[in-house]
Chains A and B, each alone.
Chain A
């Protein structure tokens, strides 16, 4: 079984701040903002491509973190994982809603992602120390790419199929099989 994979941990700081947020301590939210907002904005930008929307997602995420801080349970998982799950959920709903109500000429899904966000570049930036990297490297590059496009750029099955000119069923089953292999490897 591979070793546990996480980003550099500020041990307990985020968890402590979240517990303080639950008691109404706004300076604790500010500490999380100072520590995490640039990277949160980076994650939202990769998903949403537009800066204004990315900032909106980060704003909403902080409001939700504040509002739901009392629901955070350190027993169930790390504080950062919880915060990024909220951010990703918010970003994905903004992304799906924008696509539905889109009025601009360049649909968001077709907006070109920065080269930094293409699957192989993301792979190269992935820390050597993570179990995820070792396990992704065991997948054929094209299949690994599908998983990365979904997570990093928020593409749907259909969008991935369109972009890579693959049948939808193939995309769905490749991703599913990649997840099964990843799970096996990650333990």
Chain B
């Protein structure tokens, strides 16, 4: 059933209705989202459905939110500037929400550049000495991240010294303006935490810093905006996921 391109056709309008009902999934949904941005007639049809169906949202019984919901929202908003700097650190261009944030970000760019330079020098020195030794070091735990169709897309290695790295096993299609964000989940109550953001499938160290790391811990890759998830939680489709296992 290919959606009619004729903006006046009833089918075109029904497609907008299915989109608003939440019935489109995967590629169909992505296509509808693109149309909403590029075709004013489709956007108007969507808006008209939303306006009419809003009456149904009005029938929901109101529930008083927990007392900590507003503080959590405030904290998340305060954290937005920080996640923007995290995006800069992993080589993305951040679009800060304000001039202040842009200035803050650019400071990080320069600090980051200076720091990265110093770090590279140290790593090179250590690397030369330790090259032979490192060749022998093996990961403690491995997670194989599988796609929906059970193809291995990447592996995550954890090492005794606390390093964690992700190695892609196949190329991943990343549309313009998007990036791959890597998440880990050790406790559903805490929720997933971002541990890396890359512009394309490439080997990357993951920043687990003080986060817990253990067996059966979930790692996943999602497709997010280039500056990372706007909410601090996965928002895009899951590209691949898998849990850690101990090496024998």
Contact = CB atoms under 8 A, between A and B. Distances in A.
Contact size class for B?
35 or more
Contacts of A4: 51
Interface string A104-125: 0000000000001000001001
Overall SS of chain A's interface: helix
A66 B14 contact: no
A90 B75 CA distance: 19
B64 A39 contact: no
A43 interface: yes
Contacts, number: 162
A166 interface: no
A103 to B, nearest CB: 7
Q: How large is the interface on A (under 10, 10 to 19, 20 to 34, 35 or more residues)?
A: 35 or more
Given A63-B73, A175-B23, A183-B17, A126 B59 contact: yes
Interface of B: 10-11, 13-14, 17-18, 20-23, 25, 43, 47-48, 50-66, 69-70, 72-74, 76-77, 80, 97-98, 188, 191, 218, 220, 230-235, 238, 241
Contacts of B218: 101
B52 A33 contact: no
Interface string A21-49: 00010100110010001110111011000
B22 A67 contact: no
Given A63-B80, A77-B50, 18 more contacts: A5-B51, A6-B51, A6-B54, A24-B97, A59-B69, A67-B80, A78-B51, A81-B51, A84-B57, A90-B235, A101-B241, A127-B58, A131-B52, A133-B55, A151-B20, A175-B18, A176-B18, A183-B13
B62 A157 contact: no
Top 5 closest pairs, chain A to chain B, by CB: A42-B60, A38-B62, A7-B58, A179-B17, A125-B59
Contacts of A179: 13-14, 17-18, 21
Contact of A7 (B17, B54, B235): B54
